[in-house]
Amino acid sequence: MSRRAATLTLTSVLVLVFALVGSFMPVPYVALMPGPTSNTLGQNDKGQPLVKIDGREVYPVSGNLNFTTVTYRGGPGARIDLFTALRGWIDDDVAIVPEETIFPKKETQEQVDAENTRQMRDSQQNAEAAALTQLKVPISTQVLVDAVQKGKPADGKIKPADEIIAVDGAKVTSVAQVSELMAKRKIGDPVTITFKRGGAEQKITLTTVAVRPPGGAERAVVGIELSDQYKFPFKVDISVGDIGGPSAGLMFSLAIVDKLTPGSLTGGKFIAGTGTITPEGKVGPIGGIQQKMIAARQAGATVFLTPKDNCADAVDARPDGLRLVRADTLDGAIKSLESLNAGKNDLPACPAG
């Protein structure tokens, strides 16, 4: 055998061995890819309106206001192999990120999924609050029990989903008010909690115990975890299936505003976008902007609403044919869409990176 043939043979064997090893070698990385994109003005997989409003007049809508998602491969117990990671590093549509970016250390995949579900729930509530605030529709808040800590005074006496309405007779409508009242209680003090369960009002007196948060001072608690829940004057249902995370908030808000106001925000155009939303209408940054823009363009979008803190990365990765419009607030996003409909071009843009 000639030296050239021997070299080629050895190289082929080494490549084969590397391929075999690579296909079985798990690595602590996650592959992020463009995910499904759904029209918030359209229907979900079950043929029902993705955003459904009952108890209020709604108006016809047209065009698309699509939210975008990212899918992933990998994670604890299902790590990608070395070859998959290498292919992802050279694929412009895929981002390979360290595993802890998606799955924080000491958190299981089930815990991450549960947190994503909670974030989606909160995102939908914030989107409703932002939309109604934008439209100057009065809303109020209530305090709901999220969880009860085992072994603490409230364990077995107060339940998740109970509505806290008073602390020692003082009415409360926000978690901040409850925290302010509890901060005045000393360890061992009795506290009377008034709450509603199934529409019926109940009272219970509990004795506070001490907790010391990491790095914090000792304080008196009864062992309940609370969250603010908005009370809306009519019903808004947002049905997206098992999609999680907070990044569709802006697009949910726009869909609600569009359905509750005459005319069309899109003017029949295919608009997509992303961004978290606060109840006050402030748009926040998200992850996976590159994959979300690719998904939007592949679906047919020509305009992409982009949180300002994602602009630098978005400009560098913008697909051809997709116009980036910076979205700082819900109000600003609405004005941009109205300007688009009017044929104006002086829209807030993402600056070059």
Domain-wise residue ranges, the chain: 29-136+235-341, 140-231
Six token digits for residue 332: 């600003």
- pTM of the predicted model, to two decimals? 0.79
- In this structure, the number of other CB atoms found within 10 A of the CB of residue 71 comes to 13
Q: What tokens appear for 142 in the block?
A: 């209530």
Q: CA–CA separation, 102 vs 13, rounded Å? A: 37
Residue range 125-178, pLDDT digits in tens: 999 999 999 999 999 999 999 999 999 999 999 999 999 999 999 999 999 999
Q: Which helix (H) or strand (E) holds 298?
A: helix 289-299
Asked whether 81 and 27 are in contact (CB, 8 A), the reply is yes
Please answer whether residues 69 and 33 qualify as being in contact, where contact means their C-beta atoms are separated by less than 8 angstroms. no
Q: Catalytic: which of 152, 292, 308, 336?
A: 292
pLDDT in tens, 319-347: 999 999 999 999 999 999 999 999 888 89
Q: One of 247, 259, 308, 336 is an active-site residue; which one?
A: 247
Active site residue 140: no
CATH class belonging to 140-231: mainly beta
Tell me the C-alpha distance between 66 and 121, whole Å. 18
Active site residue 247: yes
- Band of pLDDT at residue 352, cut at 50, 70 and 90: low
Q: What is the CATH number of domain 29-136+235-341?
A: 3.30.230
How many whole angstroms from its chain centre is CA 223? 27
29-136+235-341 and 140-231 agree in CATH topology: no
Tokens of 348: 């807030």
The three-state secondary structure class of 206 is strand
Give the number of C-alpha atoms closer than 13 A to the C-alpha of residue 292, restricted to the C-beta side.
29
- Structure tokens, 260: 């509750």
